[in-house]
Structure 1
Amino acid sequence: MFMMGSNSVSNNAFFFFFFSVFLLSLLFRISSAQLSSNYYASTCPTALYVTRNVVVNAVVKEHRMGASLLRLHFHDCFGCDASILLDDTSSFTGEKTAGPNNNSIRGFDVIDTIKSQLENVCPGVVSCADILAIAARDSVVTLGGPTWGVQLGRRDSTTASLSAANSQLPSPLMDLSDLISAFSKKGFSAKEMVALSGSHTIGKAGCATFRTRIFNETNIDSTFAASLKSSCPGAGGDVNLSSLDAANLVSSLDVTTPLIFDNAYFKNLVKNEGLLHSDQQLFNGGSTDSLVTTYSTNSVTFYADFASAMVKMGSLGALTGNDGQIRTNCRKIN
């Protein structure tokens, strides 16, 4: 019978020890790369409370801020890495001046406040990307919408892409086929795209983004269009704002709906009262009409689908593990 020598035993023991360490290391890297709802449970247990407190105060002070924080997360989350928060420098151009973002995204000061407070209690722990995700959820809840378990553990990017922001973010001028394609490229179904579009139940848009619709398009309620022309004339007033959930008050008795997260956005579409061209495209004789009808009559279904799509969106382009960094200041890399 073959007998193993002492050197062979020693070598094999070393091999198995090394292999075990390798496996544990691999498993750690895999597990650390996964987002988790309790990611900060031990490292910063007050992270969710601190963020929620700042968001609630900001939204109570200005209802529009809830929509702004949600939009900030959307515009970052066609790659959820906090790249949208980076300021331009002499050697770096960020995403804030991209067409879809320039003079239209806001809420940076709220994110700064959250980050400052978290740095005081848990320095170097909570990423700016995670703050964006939590703030978006808390904004929706504060305005009466659904909640969801935010998956955490993102890290912050050390760069940004002006060209990507210009080319990948959906435009308010898109037709249905283009909307479906833009979201499909990010892994979303048409159903998820419609659900996420329901975020337009809150917030405002500038006249320049809907002037062509109210003056030239035919799939729009005439009284609704006329009600918008006083603040959005044929020329000038580009930055004048109107609620995205701008129901025709002549036919609607609920004047509070633009201030809360509800399903009135879809009810407006059924009445041809979508503010943006891209809004009304969701209900214009196409493949998504039935979804809009469902959401307009069933807020529970809309809430559930919206929450599910938000969780999915929050994982897009997320940096985890050893990628990226935890910025000390959300506006610049460390």
Structure 2
Amino acid sequence: MNLPRALPWLDERRSALLAEIGVPAWWQPRALLPRPPGADGGAPAIGATARRGPPPRAQETESADAMAAVRSGPASRAGSPTGWAVPVQAEPTAATSPVPPQPPLGDPAPPPDPAPHADIATLDWPALEAAIHACQRCGLAACRQRAVPGVGDRRPTWLIVGEAPGEEEDRQGEPFVGRAGRLLDRMLAALDLQRGHGVYIANVLKCRPPRNRNPEPEEIARCAPYLLRQIALLQPRLVLALGRFAAQTLLAEGGCLPPAEAARAPLGRLRGRVFQARLGELTLPVVVSYHPAYLLRNPVDKGKAWADLCLAAETLADVSSSLK
């Protein structure tokens, strides 16, 4: 049965939430559209899709090419927010929290004999997390404070994959914390999602690169088997890839693009559409979007990120409908 495409029902709570994170609710519900259950005081079910509505007005900050990159679909995906607001917290002073010495940019040579990929592919959850914490497959092991396997619901609907841990993630051992993590939480809340409830969050790399530099191809190759095993154990219904390296890794591993082409593809050409990736024994829809850390530096692209989230929710609803 095909589900009707409809924008999320905007009760007062949701309208206030979207206003807080900078997404203007320019649409209004159709008069004849049935109200979803609990619409008087609650939010729509997770995975609710966006319905088609009147086209939004183009913002001065959005070019025609950028808008055309979004797949023709529900009008809610073309909203142009002024920015998801994330409070800036004061950093601790040097007197109370000394800055630890930064590791050198050059990493130690990787171990000559990493664990075979086949061994990782047989691990259960406890063994997999233990292997990640003890991993010596590349030189990042010598630089990390903590490995960062992932966090969330182990029977998720959504799997969110980022790029690599940052300084706070390395300190706490959890992905997407700090300002980028708070922005991600607000983005998810706009779709009535939250980490730990139908959502699992992981990174391509499980260890922080020195000084937050970009991941090296060899590091991604050594770490990818952990992510693939996580996907096999999680069995999500949809993967949201945040950031260029997450997108390139998943699309190359999933056979969507040749590895060399994936490595050259800019993120702007990968977003706005749905890929079907063969990841292990699973074929999963993959939607690409911007990393929250990028959005903090480039708030002009937050409207595109909201469009990507709506595309992912619509895709998930289509998947759920096909399973009925």
Normalization by structure 1: what TM-score? 0.28
Could you say which structure has the larger radius of gyration? 1
Structure with the bigger percentage of helix: 1
Structure with the bigger percentage of strand: 2
